[in-house]
Amino acid sequence: MEDLLPEYVPRVYRYALRLTHDHHVAEDIVQETFLRAWRSRRRLRNPQSVRVWLLRIATNVWRDRLRSRTRHDTSTRRLLNDVPGTAQGPGEAMAKRETLHEVLRMMDSLPPRQRQVLHLSAVEAMRLDEIARVLEITSQAAKASLSLARRAMRRQFGTFEQQV
């Protein structure tokens, strides 16, 4: 289990941060995820699917927290580091950072299921069946959620482009 930590702690953390928008809650979710994973490590029969397994546990941890606590919503802006400005002028870096902020804000405005599906698809580059296993839904449901999320993102991004 220790061998998995360097690679998968950041992944689980990013996913938890996407779900919770709170650093502290995300860290708690990461710890709880790996504790649960350690307790149920014998259920992991296929080591190839450790990413799906961990993210599914993280999803369950997040759901459990949702049931017991109110959502801590924080600004997406605080969650971003400074975008590296190499080979870019200060204006370009700022414009790009603003675009990234806006894309994340759009993503955060989606319903939780669509947000999860979009994160797993766009950030984790998961296949549809993997997304379905993480969220414990059918592939058809994952496909429908992903289509809805993409359309909503395109619609919002089109509006953003027009404003810019």
Partner 1 sequence: MDDLTCHNLDAYIGGWLTHDERTEFEAHLKQCTACRDELGRQQQIDRLLGEASQHLQPPPADLVERVRQALEAARWRRRVVRVAAGLAAAAAILLAVLVISPERDSPSARRVPAVHTPKRTVTHVGPPSELSPVQQLAVWMASRKASSPGTAEYPRPRVPVFAIAPHVALAGKTPGQPTQITQPSEKTVDGDKKSKVVRGAEPFNARPNPSLRTLAERRLTVRVLAAPLRPANHETKLPDIHVKETRSCRLHLTVSSEHALCG
| Residue ranges binding partner 1 (CB under 8 A) | 1-2, 5-6, 9-10, 13-14, 17-18, 23, 26-27, 30-31, 34-35, 38-39, 79-81, 83-84, 99-100, 103-104, 107, 118-119, 121-123, 125, 128, 143, 146-147, 150-151, 153-154, 157-158, 161
Displacement of CA 98 from its chain's centroid (Å): 19
For partner 1, the closer of residues 60 and 101 by Cβ is 101
For partner 1, the closer of residues 49 and 143 by Cβ is 143
The sign of the CA dihedral 97, 31, 3, 42 is: negative
Say if residue 52 is exposed, middle or buried (CB neighbours under 10 Å; 0-12, 13-18, 19+): buried
For partner 1, the closer of residues 49 and 139 by Cβ is 139
State in angstroms the smallest separation of the CB of 67 from partner 1: 22
Nearest to 11 by CA among 145, 134, 150: 134
Displacement of CA 114 from its chain's centroid (Å): 11
State in angstroms the smallest separation of the CB of 59 from partner 1: 17
